[in-house]
Amino acid sequence: DAGITQSPRYKITETGRQVTLMCHQTWSHSYMFWYRQDLGHGLRLIYYSAAADITDKGEVPDGYVVSRSKTENFPLTLESATRSQTSVYFCASGQVRGAQHFGDGTRLSIL
C-alpha cells in the first residue's frame, strides 16, 4: 500500500544507547522531514531532506543524525540517547509546495 511507514511504533531504551528510527515512503516524494512532538511545544522540525544525499538541520537538530541514501528512506539516529529526547517522533514526506503526509509516529521513551 502506498503511504509512509515508521518503525518501530514504540521503543524504550536507556540513556547513552544509540537508537535508530526508520521511515519509509512509497510515493517517491522528493522531500522528507523528521519532527518531534512534545506537550507544550507542538511539532518541531529536527532535520529535513530535499532529495537523496541532501539533508539540512531544522529547529532542534542537536543529538540527532540523519541520512538519505535512497529517496524512499530517511532514518533518524539518536547517537547517545538522553532523557530529554523522550518524545513522539513523526516522519513526513511531500512534494515541493505541497502538503506534507505524516506517518503514525514512533513513541520513544528513554529511561
C-alpha cell at 95: 512534494
Closer to another protein at the Cβ: 80 or 98? 98
C-alpha cell at 30: 522528493
Interaction with another protein in 4-33: which residues (CB under 8 A)? 31, 33
Amino acid, single-letter form, for residue 5: T
Only one of the segments 15-23, 41-49, 62-70, 77-85 lies at the binding site for another protein (rule: CB under 8 A); that segment is 41-49
Task: Give the nearest distance from C-beta 23 to another protein in angstroms.
Answer: 11
DSSP annotation string for 41-93? TEEEEEEEEEETTEEEE-SS-TTEEE--SSTTB--EEESS--GGG-EEEEEEE
Closer to another protein at the Cβ: 80 or 83? 83
| Residue 99 binds another protein (CB under 8 A) | yes
Helix, strand or coil, per DSSP, at residue 5: strand
| Residue 2 binds another protein (CB under 8 A) | no
Closer to another protein at the Cβ: 50 or 82? 50
